[in-house]
Chain A
Amino acid sequence: MAAPKKPQVPGLLKGLGVTLNTMAQTLKPKKLGGGAATVQYPHEKETPPLRARGVIALREDNCTSCMLCARSCPDWCIYIEGHKELAPPRRAGGAPRKVNKLDRFDIDYALCMYCGICVDVCPFDALFWSPEYEYSEPKIADLLHDKTKLGEWMETVPEAPALEAGAEKKKGK
């Protein structure tokens, strides 16, 4: 077996230099572009990236209680109950429509592992990611967000960023 390559002294000094430079950079005042890479959380808040997976918001009108999200959830943390109602017909003289009404839509954030499968799988654009992250609770039971609370998160959902050039949707027929 070949002898392992011995550490070179210049490399060792370089290593010391890296840590020293990082220290100098951290100690440099904020005005001069220094400072730590971390944020002192309760005192100053980090702005999460636009598409951060903070919390899942629900647009109730779009939900048809099709149960796809509840079934695809690996943790079984989505609880849905609904019933059908009759709604007035679209055109005059038509038959009344049947619509699904949500009675219950709960996400248990004590169980949720933020995989986002529910958001991906929803065919009716009823679930959205919001970058909001401050919703911890003293009691674990309070982490069960009901449909009103999930609806309130909708306000924090950012506008979808504009598509890149050349990525426009194909016009429908």
Chain B
Amino acid sequence: MLAVDLPYWAQSLLRVLGGTVAVLLPAGTIVYLFLFKMMSFMQSRLGPMEAGPYGSMQLFAEVGKWLQKEDLAPDGADKRIYRMAPLVVLVSTFLLVAVVPFGPDAYFTNFDAGVFYMLAVSSISTLGILMAGWSSANKYSLLGGLRAAGQLIAYELPMVLAVLGVVIQAGTMNLQQIVVKQNSDSIFGWDGLGNPYILTQFIGFAIFMIAVQAELTQTPFDMPIAESELVSGYMTEYSGFRFLMFFIAEFATAGVFSLIASVLFLGGWGVPFSWFGWDATTGSVDNWMNVAGPIIMITKMMALSGIIMWVRFSYPRFREDQLQRFAWKVLIPVSLLNIMLTAILKVAF
């Protein structure tokens, strides 16, 4: 353990600051690196080049633009709910990051029902989206909101079921312990790599990433915000700061889900414990991992969100019925089979 003993208020302040950084920093990086630059390169253009070197200050320009805009609400809107909706979506992102462990002692909370909490909290954003769609008094928003709700419910299930495989194999719902387990386990006695669950739970990983793609309503699952037919769905009526919140939430959640995926499947903050002779049971992990851990996590997060964005920029949109069919007829049965197989192997070995 760290030898620092901080009073409660200082700890809380640190946590709030850390949480804000852990949400906003990945969001900004993802937007600049992937949305602005990678997407442009994939379309054979350079993207923003004027604001700062290689357009790196573009994000500040965009935020500044949004902050200047008027905060509009339609006449028929349910004003209070309309104003609350983006906050609800953003809050769900902040709540999600609370359970992600960044190092042996670098975490916001460390509690046993982490996976359960993560899955529960991630569906709060559905509520916010439905609120936004309903309260906007706009048929496009309503359609978008309903589509989003239908899609998020459909893809929540495979996500839960995919994570269950990991939980069965690790024997714990505590994200911190899942990380420790992955790094201290061995593959048939060989412990040079630990045992990242992407190897044993590859199906689970694939399903999880597909479900994340759908949860984030990124293309090919962007039916709810299909800008060419629904003029951005539930976001149609939002402007200025509230639109900015939706925007941040979209990319921050992409970052946080990538963090969670790297915790669940890629070994999280850890390096294989056998490299430095650490013992998982006594918790003898060196303190410097609290600094190296976040860096390792961010690297894995960037790789995973890079894949999410790459897929987003490559594929055309699913039709609504294809989207639902894919979730209920393919992903859910496959993930159920995966759970059964995991359970049988867990008992057998």
Contacts of A4 in B (CB 8 A): 322
Residues of chain B having any CB pair with chain A under 8 Å: 38, 40-46, 49, 310-311, 313-315, 322
Which residues of A are found within 8 Å of B45, using beta-carbon distances? 26, 36-38
- Report chain A residues within 8 Å CB of B313: 19
Assembled-state Cα–Cα distance A37/B313 (Å) = 18
Q: How far is the CA of A13 from the CA of B236 in the complex (A)?
A: 33
Are A27 and B314 closer than 8 Å at their CB atoms? Answer: no
| A contact residues, range | 10 to 19
CA distance A38 to B45 in the complex (A): 5
A62 at the interface (CB under 8 A from B): no
User: By the criterion CB–CB under 8 Å, are B44 and A36 in contact?
Assistant: yes
| Nearest CB on B from A9, distance (A) | 11
A20→B310 contact, CB < 8 A: yes
Instruction: Give the total number of A-B pairs whose CB atoms are below 8 A apart.
Output: 41
A18–B41 Cα distance when bound, in Å, is: 12
Query: Known contacts A22-B41, A23-B38; is A15 also within 8 Å of B46 by CB?
Result: no
Which residues of A approach B to under 8 Å, CB–CB? 4, 12, 15-16, 18-20, 22-23, 25-27, 36-38, 40
Contact B314 A38 (CB under 8 A): no
Contacts of A38 in B (CB 8 A): 44-46
Complex: A147 Cα to B179 Cα, angstroms: 78
A36-B45, A40-B46, A40-B49 are known contacts. Are A15 and B38 too (CB-CB below 8 A)? no
Report Cα–Cα, A74/B311, bound state, in Å. 46
Q: Which residue of A lies closest to B330 (CB)?
A: A6
Contact partners of B44 in chain A: CB under 8 A: 22, 25-26, 36-38
Q: Shortest CB–CB separation between residue B309 and chain A, in angstroms?
A: 10
Residues of B within 8 Å of A25, CB to CB, are 44
Min CB–CB distance B289 → chain A (angstroms): 34
- Listed by A's residue number, 8 A-B pairs whose Cβ atoms lie within 8 Å are A4-B322, A15-B315, A18-B314, A22-B41, A22-B44, A25-B44, A36-B40, A36-B46
In the complex, the answer to whether A27 meets B49 with C-beta atoms within 8 Å is no
Contact A19 B49 (CB under 8 A): no
If A15-B314, A15-B315, A16-B310 touch, does A23 touch B42 (CB 8 Å cutoff)?
A: yes
Instruction: Give the residue name and chain of the B residue nearest to A43 (CB).
Output: B49
**Distance of B4 from chain A, by nearest CB (Å):** 44
Are B49 and A16 closer than 8 Å at their CB atoms?
A: no
Provide the residues of chain A in CB contact with B46, threshold 8 Å: 26, 36, 38, 40
Whole-angstrom distance between the alpha carbons of A26 and B37 in the complex? 11
Beyond A16-B311, A22-B42, A23-B41, 6 additional contacts (C-beta under 8 Å) are A18-B314, A19-B314, A25-B44, A26-B46, A36-B41, A38-B45
A12 to B210, CA, bound (A): 13
| Chain A, residue nearest B321 (CB) | A4
> Measured between alpha carbons, how far is A22 from B322 in the docked complex, in Å?
28
